[in-house]
Amino acid sequence: MAPENKRLRIAIIGGGLAGAILVNALMKYPHIDVHIYESAPKFSERGAAVGLAKNSQNALDEIGHSVKDALVRAGAVPMNSTRGTVASGPNAGQIIFDLVADVPPRGVHRAAFLKQLLAPVPKEVMHNNKKLVKVEDAGDGGVVLFFKDGSEEYADLLVGADGVHGHVREHILGADHPALEPTFAGFWDCRTLLPLSKAKEVLGEEYFKEHRRYIWSGDGGMFMHDVLDNGTMVQCVASKVTDEDWDPKEWKRDLDREALENAFASWTNSPIVKNMIELLLQNPELQAFAQWDHHVDAPTFHRGRVCMVGDAAHAMTPYHGAGAGQAIEDVMILETLLGEVKKPSQLDAAVKAYDEVRRPRAQLVVQSSNSTGRIMCGQGPDVGLDVDKLRAALGSRWDFLHEFNQKEHKKRALRSFRKN
Ligand SMILES: Cc1cc2nc3c(=O)[nH]c(=O)nc-3n(C[C@H](O)[C@H](O)[C@H](O)COP(=O)(O)OP(=O)(O)OC[C@H]3O[C@@H](n4cnc5c(N)ncnc54)[C@H](O)[C@@H]3O)c2cc1C
């Protein structure tokens, strides 16, 4: 047990982007003793890139230099604009929108970002091969963590950053809660990273004259490509709406040329299909990943001295490009509150304030992302692939997300903390 005048012991479960940003953020507080536990043999990120828009970058600025610098060191590329184009049907070739942001979104390779985030973290606070299997109240307000290898740790506060398939959500909500499991969102996607020269050769030079993200909307699906790694690599993504059932245990399926061609066979007037399929197949291990989200809202993000951040709290589809950004906002609020907590007895008010401020916004993004995906894939009700209707439906769809005052968000959290 930590006496009232000792450093606060904070345990983070999960070494993905949410956990890595949080450990970085908390290291700056001398009154906090933070440790991070990852179930995998090493801290690593799979998958291609994440795009961090204005709200995410502003939240990184609020957290501090060490995390914002990590983004730059990881070779994040600012995108001058995001261009959406209809790519199937009678309106094929017409531009839906060309969004130019005052703070350009930055695309970053996940593995590179994680590596840079973890570079300044002392080895003695990073623990790998530590799978959390049980949490119990310690009897003094704190918690005891039980790991698969038989070891135990005490913490004044446990933060679950253990992703969509982690354990902490179950501890908070209970094993039978209807919001516990993520729901299959009705889409799959596949992704490939390849050198810029190859993407230019197949798609054409004109798409790479400036750093722009391209989105191609068609019949029940979409393609996306953007540039990362200091402009040397290109990420290609295909997303598809599907009526098929995916078993909750089935995260991915093998994908070959035939399956990919069949998925986009209904697109008409569309040269982009052939070229994107060509690029996607450059990945010899191409797989379709099911998209899951927490469609049923959790009634709380905390229970006692245990709370959750990132995908553990609010897994979402990628159509707002916002999952990591919402994790960054979670971290910004939580670290602001924990910076104010000087003794364990204040932690309850801090996690309550965190929940009050973060849950409504993050859950709104989860719901909005799913319906945005339907629209981008040509399946918006009364929208379809009509370019004018797509323009009306998508043009301002990201405003609530990106034009968000992070300083005010922090102030609200602090007000709530002081009143709790
Ligand atoms: C295709 C796709 C595109 C996306 N694009 C964007 C984008 O452009 N912009 C954006 O902001 N977001 C995007 N996202 C979302 C973003 O990638 C996620 O929201 C973010 O990476 C989640 O990070 P996390 O740390 O919360 O979870 P995770 O990355 O899942 O990390 C959880 C970690 O916890 C560990 N763990 C799990 N269980 C345990 C346990 N019991 N004990 C110990 N450790 C455990 C895991 O091994 C893992 O390392 C996208 C997602 C997808 C799928």
Can you tell me which atom of ligand 1 is nearest the CA of 131? Answer: 42
Rounded Cα distance between 310 and 19, Å, is 8
> Ligand 1 — pocket residues by CB below 6 A?
13-19, 37-40, 50-51, 130-132, 161-163, 166-167, 189, 310-311, 318, 321-325, 327
Active site residue 191: yes
**Spacing, Cα 325 to ligand 1 middle (Å):** 11
**Spacing, Cα 258 to ligand 1 middle (Å):** 30
- What structural domains and CATH numbers belong to the chain? 8-78+108-182+294-372 (3.50.50.60)
Cα distances (Å, whole numbers) of residue 268 to 87, 216, 244, 264, 273:
8, 13, 23, 9, 9
Average confidence (pLDDT) over 206-214: 93
pLDDT at 4: 56
**Spacing, Cα 17 to ligand 1 middle (Å):** 6
Quote the strand ranges of 258-415, DSSP E.
Answer: 287-293, 302-303, 306-308
* pLDDT, mean over the chain: 95
Cα distances (Å, whole numbers) of residue 208 to 80, 280, 314:
11, 17, 34
Q: Is the pLDDT of residue 420 over 90?
A: no
Instruction: For a ligand 1 pocket test, name from 36, 39, 46 the mutation site with the most ligand atoms within 8 angstroms of its C-beta.
Output: 39
Q: What percent of the chain has pLDDT over 70?
A: 99
The 3-state DSSP class for residue 35 equals strand
Can you tell me which atom of ligand 1 is nearest the CA of 19? Answer: 25
Start-to-end CA span in the chain (Å): 24
CB distance 97 to 125 below 8 Å: no
Cα distances (Å, whole numbers) of residue 336 to 22, 63, 409:
11, 8, 10
Cα distances (Å, whole numbers) of residue 306 to 130, 141, 301, 366:
18, 10, 9, 22
Rg of the Cα atoms in the chain: 22
Predicted confidence (pLDDT) per residue in 269-302, tens digit = 888 999 999 999 999 999 999 999 999 999 999 9
Q: Is the pLDDT of residue 248 over 90?
A: no
Q: How many CB atoms lie within 10 A of CB 127?
A: 18
Given the residues 191, 213, 358, 374, the one annotated as active site: 191
Beta bridge partners of 287: 254
**Spacing, Cα 83 to ligand 1 middle (Å):** 26
Predicted confidence (pLDDT) per residue in 69-125, tens digit = 999 999 998 988 999 999 999 999 999 999 888 999 999 999 999 999 999 999 999
1 pLDDT band, cuts 50/70/90, is: very low
Average confidence (pLDDT) over 37-58: 91
Higher pLDDT, 21 or 246: 21
Predicted confidence (pLDDT) per residue in 145-164, tens digit = 999 999 999 999 999 999 99
Q: Evaluate the CA torsion angle 191, 193, 196, 199 in order and state its sign.
A: negative
Which residue is closest in CA terms to ligand 1's atom 1? 318
Average confidence (pLDDT) over 235-240: 96
